[in-house]
Amino acid sequence: MIREKKTAPWAANIVAHRSYNRLNEELVLLKKYQPPVVITALGSPIPVIETVHSYAGLVFADVNSVKYAKKAADAGVDGLVLVSSGAGGHTGAITGFAFVEAVREFWDGIIVLAGGMSTGNSILAAQALGADLVYMGTKFIAAEESMANQLYKEMVVQATNEDLICTDAFTGVHANMLKQSIEKAGYDPSQLTSKKEIDFQNPQGKSKAWKDVWSAGQGVNSIKEVQPAAEIISRLKTEYEQSLLNMEMAKTWLKTEVKN
């Protein structure tokens, strides 16, 4: 039914790390359902590229460093998702400003910028940097249509940046998690133990990310209520257009000042 409707392309997200024991099963599903876009994370995208390119789909790779961006580009991906500092869930250590400029030195393909963005102003700023698209995940956790747990949605609405903990305790990869969800899952946030290796099968032994321990990005401060997705998108559009107008006004002012 989805394919019969004229909608935006849908995407599948695949964990490509060797410790993820469902990868082969999910490659079969990709071949069967043929999502137009497939996003890989935490591992080599090569097996996914072979499958998705066989039916003319596109592969975007999540990368959190310039090193991994180069590896993904060399592997033949169609787009790079630059996971910068401030991203919810598995995060990066580089600011979006530095990340986009560094990758643009060797990559002229599609760039998606991720990390701490939750307003229309952020979208325009990302475009100014040289990104083509943005990831905005935390904002839509609080959408009415989101399948996230209702308590998770409420936690996102109530949270500030001070409620985020960046830890590798749950999967072996540093991720921004909500302190309240860590406590709810039965852990003491001050006593988390770093994992020695990446493991997506049984993180921390008793609670699983992302089922029991919930993530959020640094854009969480701007999320004030649970809303329909249409209202969120409309607000983003309004903010984006206002930012464009502000830029035009600033350019006009600057020209006037230079002439004087």
Segment 152-200, tens digit of pLDDT:
999 999 999 999 999 988 888 889 999 999 999 889 998 888 877 776 6
- One domain, residues 90 and 179: no
CB 118 within 8 A of CB 138: yes
**Does 62 fall in a domain?**
yes
The DSSP 8-state label assigned to residue 54 in this structure reads: T
The pTM (predicted TM-score) of the whole model is 0.87
Q: In what order do the strands lie in the sheet with 11-15?
A: 11-15, 37-41, 58-63, 79-83, 110-114, 133-134
**Does 141 fall in a domain?**
no
pLDDT digits (tens, 9 = 90+) for 25-42: 999 999 999 999 999 998
- One domain, residues 94 and 8: yes
Given pLDDT bands bounded at 50, 70 and 90, which one contains residue 4? low
Q: Please compute the mean of the pLDDT values over residues 237-259 and round it to a whole number.
A: 85
Q: What is the mean pLDDT of the chain?
A: 89
- One domain, residues 130 and 64: yes
Q: Please compute the mean of the pLDDT values over residues 207-229 and round it to a whole number.
A: 85
- One domain, residues 86 and 51: yes
How many whole angstroms separate alpha carbon 89 and alpha carbon 16? 16
The pair phi, psi for residue 60, each rounded to 5°, is -110, 135
Residue 223: the pLDDT is: 93
Residue 81, beta-bridge partner list:
62, 112
Residue 2 has pLDDT above 50, yes or no: no
**Does 80 fall in a domain?**
yes
**Does 229 fall in a domain?**
no
- One domain, residues 200 and 81: no
- One domain, residues 16 and 124: yes
* Domain-ending residue, one of 136, 161, 186: 136
* Domain-ending residue, one of 136, 162, 178: 136
- One domain, residues 129 and 154: no
Range of the domain at 130: 2-136
CB 214 within 8 A of CB 142: no
CB 66 within 8 A of CB 94: yes
- One domain, residues 96 and 207: no
Strand 11-15, strand 37-41: pairing: parallel
| Residue of 14 and 1 predicted with greater confidence | 14
- One domain, residues 132 and 158: no
CB 227 within 8 A of CB 141: no
- One domain, residues 113 and 209: no
**Does 255 fall in a domain?**
yes
- One domain, residues 202 and 241: no
Residue 204: the pLDDT is: 46
- One domain, residues 39 and 158: no
**Does 48 fall in a domain?**
yes
Q: Give the count of domains, the chain.
A: 3
Given pLDDT bands bounded at 50, 70 and 90, which one contains residue 212? confident
Q: In what order do the strands lie in the sheet with 175-178?
A: 89-90, 175-178, 164-167
* Domain-ending residue, one of 74, 108, 136: 136
**Does 142 fall in a domain?**
no
**Which sign, positive or negative, has the C-alpha torsion 22, 28, 29, 30?**
positive
